[in-house]
Amino acid sequence: MTEWMQTWGQATKTGLGFFWKSGWAFVLGYFVSAMIQTFVPKKRLTEYMGDGKPKSIGLASAFGAISSSCSFAALSTARALVLKGARFVEAVAFMFASTNLVIELGILIVIFLGWEFLIAEIIGGVILIGISSTLIKQVSPDEWFDQARKKVEEEAGDLAEDFDWKERIQSWDGWLRVGRSFVDEWKMVWEEILIGFSIAGIVAVVVPTNIWEAVFLVGMEGEVAPGWLALQNALVGPFVAMMTFIGSMGNIPLATVLSANGVMFAGIMAFIYSDLVVPPLVLVNREYYGWKVALFIAGIMYVSMVSTALLLWWGFEAIGAIPETQRVVEEVTRFKIDYTFWFNLAFAVVAGVLVWMHRRMRQREETGESSDDSGPGFKRIVAFLFLAVDVGGLTIFAWSTLG
């Protein structure tokens, strides 16, 4: 077997190992997310947005934290909020919260990086929203936003939903809705997860350590002041994220790769926060609002991410508590009979029950609505290409192991 085939097989095994380590967390996270989305009336939150004040921004952030962690869904819902009267400052706060303060992301961070990074992520998420809100209020071009608001034509219908949550949570229909929301969440994020974990496996195996050392100036602590190194890492982190094209749930395993290769805390946090500025998402915002507003939002986000990463580094450095992970890629991706095995087994059953509930809900509704036959989008085509690569790599790995 040639060397490149062995590398291919090892990269696939590593990517699958990343997913194996976190599979149960995805099910748990999306199960909790589905319950929140099913039993929390969204209208109670959306009707108080629109004045750009701290309370309104806080409600937008809370709404984001209980919404889908899918980056594309975050952009779509933010557009619907703008249509309903929310300002762009609240829309950006919603997007940041939806991709940084959701429970499933927190679980993944604990698994791959450790609880210290989770604390930093939560604190940083609040700082991120605060900085971006302040910048938008101070420098936002009102005429651009007025034009963008006019460009928004379609409304997300479910945002106006209102109901008695006590009555719903006690009904069988309410729990069937949980199953439907759970499956709908997976339909939105499976491409990002597949692409992200596949890329993480490839990067972990293919990209040599000296590349990361050159990009993030690893090993130059004695030659460059720590503050300048932190600044350089924070500035570069988002660009690495942009090149990977990975969404919010797929970049955590790659953050583990960066950490294992000596990237500073500031660079890792800037990388984690950068899922909303990857090119596909900027293009989505361009479709929603036009190039001017899309690039303005991306610029505000970039400055906010870098500033937040630096503030976190300075703050944790001041108290001598810079988070450091002891996670090693080879250890994280190893298949063995431990708590991960039993958790994956148990939550596979939970997922099966929720899928069954989803099917029961569909049978009960019998809406007769036709499915979307517009054809696969670019992201889905890329996801299927990575799936083919993974199947080939897994075959090679099994052949080399059993042969």
> What's the confidence (pLDDT) of residue 330?
67
Q: Which residues of the chain have pLDDT under 70?
A: 1, 42-48, 50-51, 68-70, 72, 153-162, 245-250, 325-332, 366-376, 403
Amino acid at 198: S
Please, are residues 13 and 390 in contact by the beta-carbon 8 Å criterion?
Answer: no
Q: Which residues contact 307 (CB under 8 A, 6 or more apart)?
A: 131
At residue 155, the 3 state secondary structure works out as: coil
Q: How far apart are CA 10 and CA 28, in angstroms?
A: 28
Amino acid at 310: L
> What's the confidence (pLDDT) of residue 326?
59
Number of H helices, E strands in the chain: 19, 0
SS (H, E, C) 185-201: HHHHHHHHHHHHHHHHH
Q: Which residues contact 147 (CB under 8 A, 6 or more apart)?
A: 290, 292, 293
Q: What is the pLDDT of residues 37-48, one digit of tens each?
A: 788 776 666 666
Q: Provide the sign of the torsion angle of the four alpha carbons 192, 197, 203, 209, taken in this order.
A: positive
Q: Which residues contact 58 (CB under 8 A, 6 or more apart)?
A: none
Secondary element (H or E) of residue 315? helix 291-318
> What's the confidence (pLDDT) of residue 67?
76
> What's the confidence (pLDDT) of residue 140?
78
> What's the confidence (pLDDT) of residue 370?
46
Q: How far apart are CA 76 and CA 74, in angstroms?
A: 5
Closest alpha carbon to 156 in 296, 277, 42:
42
pTM (two decimals): 0.77
Q: Where are the domains of the chain?
A: 18-369
> What's the confidence (pLDDT) of residue 246?
65
Q: What is the pLDDT of residues 264-309, one digit of tens each?
A: 999 999 999 988 888 878 887 887 788 898 899 999 999 999 999 9
> What's the confidence (pLDDT) of residue 134?
94
Q: What is the pLDDT of residues 69-115, one digit of tens each?
A: 667 677 777 877 787 777 888 889 988 998 888 888 888 898 888 89
